[in-house]
Structure 1
């Protein structure tokens, strides 16, 4: 039997959107992400798994790739908090000051009027856990939740 890695690594996270151009623009502005490639032709398997897929664009932010894809037909599960889904993605920051800066940047982009947001929910306040970890949660233009966290030295 071939040897397998004991520690798989993440290649990408797929993000479904109803407005690919809006999502690409937001990820570029918020995360300073770079678009690396786009597809508009798909295999039969992809078309079976994602009916109505129109385009897919990969964006990179540091060592994380996001595959943003648009479909012509899908259902938004409004209020379906018990649906099986990825709940959020947590990204680690280097300082409390970075947390404050990222949170402020979210408001600047929201207030710019350049983007359409699926949710009116604002980022949470920055909270500190019992172990000293700081974090806050926010949603992208599609309503998907992210968490930014910072672990002061000695708390991880």
Structure 2
């Protein structure tokens, strides 16, 4: 994303921003890291158990942080001590995150992967609900929604007009 130049931007440049990582809080670090690694086909890049004063101030009770790198995205999965007062389980931290895919076939593969991991019994899901059916809107955009092991909602979508430009 680019923004118009202001007086703090060097001549000939625009301000730019991109997504570096998505932070996901979990009550079960091992379960969550394993699910993100398997579902998204990722790898663990690093793990921390010692934190700066700033991190401890911003995330009271943090006990562990693992970066999972997958599908061009970094997921920073972290846990806090049991003494940390968590929000109620039905308090959403974000409404949903949308992941885009190149084809409708890939969209179906992601949905199938979610279902296969769910029925495997290897993971504990806070919201053990199946993914939605794939729906197609009037613009030909196809999508489905599914929850991760923490109950955070993801949308997976195929947008034909964007996929043509890949």
Fold match by TM threshold 0.5: yes
Distance, in Å, in 2 between the alignment partners of 1:60 and 1:155 is 23
Q: Which residue of 1 aligns with 2:73?
A: 64
Task: Summarize the Cα distance change of 1:154–1:110 in structure 2 as closer, same or farther, 3 Å threshold.
Answer: closer
From 40, 50, 62, the counterpart of 1:41: 50
Unpaired runs of 5+ in structure 2? 1-7
Q: Which residue of 1 aligns with 2:31?
A: 22
Partner of 1:14, secondary structure, is strand
Q: Which residue of 2 aligns with 1:75?
A: 86
Structural RMSD (CA): 1.9
Question: What TM-score results when the alignment is normalised by the length of structure 1?
Answer: 0.90
Q: Which residue of 1 aligns with 2:17?
A: 8
Q: Which residue of 1 aligns with 2:4?
A: none
Residues matched between the structures, number: 153
Report the alpha carbon displacement of residue 18 of structure 1 after superposing the two structures with TM: 0.5
Distance, in Å, in 2 between the alignment partners of 1:34 and 1:40 is 18
Task: Summarize the Cα distance change of 1:60–1:5 in structure 2 as closer, same or farther, 3 Å threshold.
Answer: farther
Q: Which residue of 1 aligns with 2:3?
A: none
Report the alpha carbon displacement of residue 46 of structure 1 after superposing the two structures with TM: 1.0
| Larger-Rg structure | 2
The answer to whether structure 1 residue 110 and structure 2 residue 110 are counterparts is: no
Distance, in Å, in 2 between the alignment partners of 1:76 and 1:44 is 23
From 48, 54, 64, the counterpart of 2:63: 54
CA-to-aligned-CA distance 1:18-47 (integer Å, 9 cap, x gap)? 011101110111110110001100011111
Partner of 2:22, secondary structure, is strand
Moved segments of 4+, more than 6 Å: none
The answer to whether structure 1 residue 144 and structure 2 residue 152 are counterparts is: yes
Report the alpha carbon displacement of residue 154 of structure 1 after superposing the two structures with TM: 7.2
- Contact kept, 8 Å, 1:131 with 1:155, in 2: the verdict is no
Unpaired runs of 5+ in structure 1? none
